[in-house]
Chain A
């Protein structure tokens, strides 16, 4: 028994010495196609970088759900304990992740933040890669206002915002930008904001109830992937497809179908692939190649509608 233990411990040490260069990618949840697309970007970057650094390994982890902030903190802590070379992190809360990111910095592990804002001292991380969520939110608002005007002839009326997790950086930017643009550029009134916790059936039920309570709603905005899918289903079920201006966010297969059949008028699609790909490359540059990296990188977004859904630009970001 003791000999076995000795062999196992020895193996563990050897394994530790061999896996010398790990970049840990930690996202808000493993449970969504958006983040899986980020993963594809990460692994493609790994493939390219392995040519220069054969010992490089990229791990990809996330908690069960986007609202499970404590679990994300724990995953980051264990990455620090493992002694990874760099961390690429999509924080599920603007401020809760700050202490653990600080810990990583103090342990000499460079951190690259992707997708969502992190507050606190910006020197805690080396780079911030994201969609400009504020700009994307505003673009969605602009699209909604234009279409409401085209449909009803005026820019006054009631709209609803179907959001996902309150307090997360991307939401603050996206929904904040959307509401601000609406307030400054139209007479539309947001009658309610609902939070689906990024759960599709919850978004479906909430949208059904909001549509029932406000039969004169002219527009509605679904601020992330599962929320937009649930919202689209509710609109189709209520027989309102095409009768209400609906803007969604992100671009998985069900959302693409909704755009094609007119249930959703437009979707803002982020380049989640770029977040993963550029995120790993930036982390590599900072930690292993020891190069200077830009403080901010805009990974971009496209407004996809029925008219441009088949274009190459759109195809590059859809999944």
Chain B
């Protein structure tokens, strides 16, 4: 930058940084999206039947749950927190919904009950962090264990079959036109709707801006009048709500309550957010990025399985992708 008077330089530097920041963000997004396209192309060539309408729709269905979880956890990570209880909440909410359905409660109400259970878990997480001032890692770790224990206790660890109509949400689709085009599954539609809604919340609504503010600099946010505690609680409620949604979708796909499943899913959700550009330091992250990150993991998982690759290869590859995605992200932000 040229050296004229100090104020001019500062102003121009300021503007240049903002422009640089915005175009860097766009470049980041383009690179990650480009990665998705490349991966998709590679697997279309090397894996049998990958590039068929059926497989692509199946890929979308399988990735929808990771995306939903990822979006929820993105909110908490942006506030410089984390949510480790997601897996347990998924198992718990699915179980609660199925048990309600078995008891004769109408399907849609049972699912709402499940969602409510997710919201309650999120609320508890939020309160533990804001009222009891526990670090998010500890609070959600504890909840992870408590919620899992509750889920197992109320079902005695048994997987119970749900009434067949419970399976409609997870297994049915619109636009079914014969076996070659099985239609766009409801979970995929839900994923698209949720992505748009939460993108809007994050980018256009005040609570979204406050979320970023709290994550970037909590003290400054507090001093400028933002109710930091409330913002954090909302983030954790979102995470619990979306985990609840995933729980219901999975229970519906399985048509069974499975209190023993979803162990470790929180790590997939966090990986999706991180690959998509969310920073664990807080203050950085987008819904779009998380969606892309989730699809990168999804394509790798499905593609490697269809290729007949060793299952352990999947874990190695996804782990390497997480490491290098974050590494490149850090390189770019250091410049």
Contact = CB atoms under 8 A, between A and B. Distances in A.
Same complex for A and B? Answer yes
Pick the 6 closest A-B CB pairs, nearest first. A31-B260, A213-B306, A209-B305, A33-B158, A65-B263, A195-B311
A41 interface: no
Contacts of A213: 47-50, 305-308
Contacts of B311: 166, 193-195
A229 interface: yes
B258 interface: yes
Contacts, number: 107
Interface string A206-234: 10111011110000000000100110010
Interface residues of A, number: 38
B54 A212 contact: yes
Nearest to A215: B49
A212 B55 contact: yes
Interface string B237-261: 0000000000000100111101111
Contacts of A31: 148, 152, 157, 259-260, 263
B258 A226 contact: yes
Interface of B: 47-50, 52, 54-55, 58, 62, 65, 145, 148, 152, 156-161, 171, 179, 250, 253-256, 258-264, 301-302, 305-308, 311-312
Interface stretch (A149-157, A170-178, A251-259): A251-259
A29 interface: yes
Most-contacted residue by chain A among B148, B263, B301 (CB, 10 A): B263
A95 interface: no
Given A208-B62, A254-B161, A192 B254 contact: no
Given A209-B58, A209-B302, A212-B58, A254 B256 contact: yes
Contact of B255 (A206, A214, A233): A233
Contacts of B307: 213
Given A30-B152, A64-B148, A212 B306 contact: yes
A74 interface: no
A233 B167 CA distance: 11
Nearest to B48: A213
A253 B161 CA distance: 7
Interface string A15-34: 00000000000000111110
Given A212-B306, A213-B49, A230 B157 contact: no
Contact of B156 (A36, A205, A208, A214): A36
A42 interface: no
